[in-house]
Amino acid sequence: MTRLEMDIAWRYLRSRRGSKLLSLISMIAIGGVMVGVSALIIIIGVM
């Protein structure tokens, strides 16, 4: 990832105007995607 992509993602996740709930939901969604992708990588690696 480039520095610009990281800056945009960090700004979105740490928005001050948005509610804390929105930030929490974003973190949970990112965590879910990370778990799903890692599970797919492991399953494909085992096959």
Q: What is the pLDDT of residues 4-36, one digit of tens each?
A: 988 888 887 776 666 777 778 888 998 999 999
- Count Cα atoms within 13 angstroms, Cβ side, for 17: 2
Q: Which residue has the tokens 């990588």?
A: 41
Q: Is 47 helix (H, G, I), strand (E, B) or coil?
A: coil
**pLDDT given for residue 40 in this prediction:** 97
pTM equals 0.62
pLDDT at 26: 81
